[in-house]
């Protein structure tokens, strides 16, 4: 029987754990904080700093390791495990820069598929703002720190920044803690997520997913880690043509090829592309070197190919076709009141009645004396499945209302989608 080490403790890792267990794998979960959902299906659990290789459990009896979140990739945990001779279903640190450095991501894309980039500039002084503004106009500026921000560091003119002096102040603030800042042209269009398994050279696409990043209904408010997502039973999205998807696939393939050439080692694991369909074609918003959270839940919940086999094939470099049920999925995140603001309600008890129509994945919650408590992050992901998006949505929302406490959720995930 396969024994795998799983690193991470969010709802994405709960979905990874459940999928591995369904394929017959015995898992040891290494977590920053015990996720009660993951712990309940793990053979063993260790708690430690997930970005610190010294905290890892003894590695010798694992067939492979799989890493869910980006932070351990950024700190070289995959490199450490591979050096010990254990294969890892995740890219090495140099390759994960496609996510961990937004500047590197723009630069590699400029070499691999330049038309997929917006206009951008990587700056290390606020004085460089003027030149970029004269190219794109202040009202079309997006400002991002170069580094990991959990999706929350991006500010867009007209939404989060309202004047040139606010843009300047934000750049100055970021430069205190980050080496550089990325300025981008604001892209206008409809976003989509395309994830793929990668075995070093070959990529295998997963069903397309639409993610909802904004905190409130109608896509208002600040960016969050994401408030929900959906995928269709046809595995496509109504607003994308086959040509759009082929184009996005080609962009991902060229980036994988280029990453391998430039880093002298091949990319293995999951590549996540967040794209936007604009009047000027398909553009890249960002790449992640891992599954999306919540997008992992949409795709893994309907994957019929054994996840264990997929992991072995990624490691061996002989990835085969991956199959999915013809089911739609809708994921709704239940978050603490106030999330993602400074007044987020923490350490508040929540009660979860047994799910009737969906799968419930635990995110950032902990258990104390049999009671589940929130932290300052997203608490519970509810994943509904169905023959259509409408059915999947009804299934998800019927169980969302069975979660009680000082929590809230978006009520418009996949609204009006068929
Ligand atoms: P990121 O962390 O780069 O994924 O950005 C978070 C969110 O900000 C994305 O999901 C987009 O909605 C938005 N965003 C980022 N970059 C741009 C851009 N160049 N144009 C328009 N929106 C953007
Ligand atoms: N759903 C966006 C992310 O995982 O980064």
Q: Hey, what's the torsion of the CAs at 361, 363, 369, 373, to 10 degrees?
A: -120
CATH number of the domain enclosing 175: 3.30.1490.20
Q: Answer yes or no: is 99 within a domain.
A: no
Same domain assignment for residues 203 and 269: yes
CA 310–ligand 1 middle distance (angstroms):
30
Same domain assignment for residues 180 and 194: no
The whole-angstrom distance between residue 345's C-alpha and the CA centroid of its chain comes to 24
Domain count, the chain: 4
CATH number of the domain enclosing 65: 3.40.50.20
pTM assigned to the model: 0.96
β 26-31/44-47 pair status = parallel
290 Cα nearest atom in ligand 2: 4
Q: Is the CB of 199 under 6 A from ligand 2?
A: no
* Residue 131: domain span: 120-185
Closest CA to 283 of 73, 87, 119: 119
Nearest CA to ligand 2 atom 4: 292
Same domain assignment for residues 310 and 340: no
pLDDT at 223: 87
Same domain assignment for residues 169 and 258: no
Same domain assignment for residues 175 and 201: no
Same domain assignment for residues 228 and 266: yes
Q: Tell me the pLDDT tens digit for each residue of 89-99.
A: 999 999 999 99
Q: Which residue has the tokens 């994960």?
A: 96
CATH number of the domain enclosing 207: 3.30.470.20
Q: Hey, what's the torsion of the CAs at 334, 369, 357, 14, to 10 degrees?
A: 70
Same domain assignment for residues 312 and 357: no
Q: Answer yes or no: is 388 within a domain.
A: yes
Q: Answer yes or no: is 101 within a domain.
A: no
Is residue 400 classed as helix, strand or coil in its secondary structure? Answer: helix
Q: Answer yes or no: is 95 within a domain.
A: no
Nearest CA to ligand 2 atom 5: 292
Same domain assignment for residues 245 and 333: no
Q: Tell me the pLDDT tens digit for each residue of 87-146.
A: 999 999 999 999 999 999 999 999 999 999 999 999 999 999 999 999 999 999 999 999
Q: Answer yes or no: is 29 within a domain.
A: yes
Alpha-carbon gap, residue 19 to 89, rounded angstroms: 14
Closest CA to 373 of 414, 336, 339: 336
Same domain assignment for residues 145 and 165: yes
CATH number of the domain enclosing 342: 3.90.600.10
CA 146–ligand 1 middle distance (angstroms):
13
Give the residues across from 355 on adjacent strands: none
Domain stop point among 132, 151, 185: 185
Q: Is the CB of 154 under 6 A from ligand 1?
A: yes
β 155-156/181-185 pair status = unpaired
Same domain assignment for residues 24 and 75: yes
Same domain assignment for residues 207 and 260: yes
Domain stop point among 69, 90, 111: 90
Number of H helices, E strands in the chain: 12, 23
Same domain assignment for residues 216 and 169: no
Alpha-carbon gap, residue 126 to 153, rounded angstroms: 17
291 Cα nearest atom in ligand 2: 4
Q: In what order do the strands lie in the sheet with 190-200?
A: 203-205, 190-200, 267-278, 281-288
374 sits in which H/E element: strand 371-374
Q: Answer yes or no: is 323 within a domain.
A: no
Q: Tell me the pLDDT tens digit for each residue of 220-249.
A: 988 898 999 999 999 999 999 999 999 999
The CB-side HSE value for 306 (13 A sphere, CA atoms) comes to 9
Q: Answer yes or no: is 268 within a domain.
A: yes
pLDDT less than 50: residues of the chain: none
Q: Answer yes or no: is 114 within a domain.
A: no
Is residue 46 classed as helix, strand or coil in its secondary structure? Answer: strand
Domain stop point among 142, 165, 185: 185
Q: Is the CB of 142 under 6 A from ligand 1?
A: yes
């Amino acid at each position: 029987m396969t024994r795998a080490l799983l690193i991470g403790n969010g709802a994405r890792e709960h979905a990874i754990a459940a999928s591995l267990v369904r394929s017959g794998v015995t898992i040891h979960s290494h977590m920053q904080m015990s996720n009660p959902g993951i712990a309940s299906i793990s053979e063993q659990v260790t708690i430690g700093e997930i970005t610190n290789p010294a905290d890892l459990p003894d590695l010798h009896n694992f067939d492979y390791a799989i890493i869910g979140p980006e932070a351990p990739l950024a700190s070289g945990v995959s490199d450490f495990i591979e050096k010990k001779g254990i294969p890892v279903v995740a890219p090495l640190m140099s390759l994960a820069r496609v996510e961990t450095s937004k500047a590197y991501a723009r630069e590699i894309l400029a070499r691999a598929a330049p038309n997929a980039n917006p206009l951008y500039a990587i700056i290390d002084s606020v004085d460089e703002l003027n030149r970029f503004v004269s190219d794109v106009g202040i009202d079309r500026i997006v400002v991002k720190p170069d580094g990991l921000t959990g999706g929350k560091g991006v500010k867009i003119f007209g939404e989060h920044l309202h004047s040139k002096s606010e843009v300047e102040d934000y750049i100055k603030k970021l430069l205190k803690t980050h080496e550089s800042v990325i300025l981008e042209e604001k892209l206008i269009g409809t976003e989509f997520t395309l994830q793929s398994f990668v075995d070093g050279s070959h990529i295998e696409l997963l069903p397309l997913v639409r993610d909802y990043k904004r905190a409130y209904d109608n896509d208002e408010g600040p960016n969050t880690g994401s408030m929900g997502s959906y995928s269709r039973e046809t595995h496509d999205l109504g607003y994308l043509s086959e040509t759009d998807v082929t184009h996005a696939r080609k962009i991902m393939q060229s980036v994988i090829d280029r990453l391998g050439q430039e880093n002298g080692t091949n990319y293995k694991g999951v590549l996540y592309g967040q794209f936007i369909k604009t009047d000027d074609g398909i553009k890249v918003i960002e790449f992640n070197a891992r599954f999306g959270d919540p997008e992992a839940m949409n795709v893994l919940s309907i994957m019929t190919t054994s996840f264990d086999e997929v992991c072995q094939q990624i490691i061996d470099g002989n990835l085969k076709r991956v199959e999915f049920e013809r089911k739609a999925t809708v994921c709704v995140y239940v978050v603490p009141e106030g999330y993602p603001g400074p007044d987020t309600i923490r350490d508040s008890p929540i009660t979860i009645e047994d799910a009737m129509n969906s799968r419930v994945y635990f995110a950032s919650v902990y258990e104390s004396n049999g009671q589940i408590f929130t932290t300052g992050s997203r608490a519970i992901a509810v994943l509904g499945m169905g023959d259509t998006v409408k059915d999947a949505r009804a299934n998800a929302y019927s169980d969302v209302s069975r979660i009680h406490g000082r929590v809230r959720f978006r009520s418009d995930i996949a609204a009006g989608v068929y």
